[in-house]
Structure 1
């Protein structure tokens, strides 16, 4: 994938966001970190206090367990929504001309739900990979080998 100079690259998952800018050219990426945000999101067992409730059927003695809320996933989804809002603010302020987003499939889906038109207009591509725990060199290599 060819990424022109000055393209913004968001590498995110549900807990970490890295915002880079390509200071190199389309053939030789040189990603410079502009913003880094992380969210402390403990496992679901630390978010909840009770087990799932029971539901009684209106006909007969049947009882069924209610589905448990995954608070950990809710926090990851909220973080993705906040990240999409940050993208909108930067795009609206003219700080983003071209944008590439790299995120795991679930996070990418949640980001898409919150894209504003101004972000969509600047989007040059999406890569569905989790690269937040990788080095900058590995991120550059994965981007160049994508697509």
Structure 2
């Protein structure tokens, strides 16, 4: 996958968010870590009085979904503040599903790719290899 200069790459799961910006060019990307603000979680208590079923997720799943909502909020705010024009999202599959529900509609055209893999904690070379494999 070709990643234009300035593209932001978000890597997350239900507990951790890492952000990078490509400071290189498309043929030689150079991912530089960005500072990540604290992720605001919301609606932690909704559904907590119910038994855990597919329709009523357990407390841990609610935490992960709330985290994903907070990540979508951060990314949307960054986009609306003109902090990026292009975005690549690499997220655990369930987290990616939650993110998709919560992106700001104006940000949708900026999303260049979504990769459903849990690569939180991965090294930059691993991320670059994954992005290169997606080019394929």
Question: Which category of TM-score, normalised to the shorter sequence, fits these structures?
Answer: 0.7 to 0.9
**Aligned residue among 93, 103, 106 for 2:81:** 93
Which is richer in strand?
A: 1
For 1:101 and 1:67, locate their aligned partners in 2 and report how far apart those are by CA, in whole Å.
Answer: 29
**Aligned residue among 17, 39, 60 for 1:72:** 60
Q: Which runs of 5+ in 1 are unaligned?
A: 40-51, 54-65
Other-structure match for 1:128: 116
TM-score normalised according to structure 1 size = 0.77
Superposition misfits of 4+ residues, deviation over 3 angstroms: 36-39, 66-69
Q: Which runs of 5+ in 2 are unaligned?
A: 40-48
For 2:12 and 2:123, locate their aligned partners in 1 and report how far apart those are by CA, in whole Å.
Answer: 13
Change (3 A) 1:67 1:16: closer
For 1:78 and 1:135, locate their aligned partners in 2 and report how far apart those are by CA, in whole Å.
Answer: 26
RMSD: 1.9
Shift of the alpha carbon at 1:36? Answer: 3.7
TM-score normalised according to structure 2 size = 0.83
Q: Which has the larger radius of gyration?
A: 1
**Does the 8 Å contact 2:10/2:89 carry over to 1?**
yes
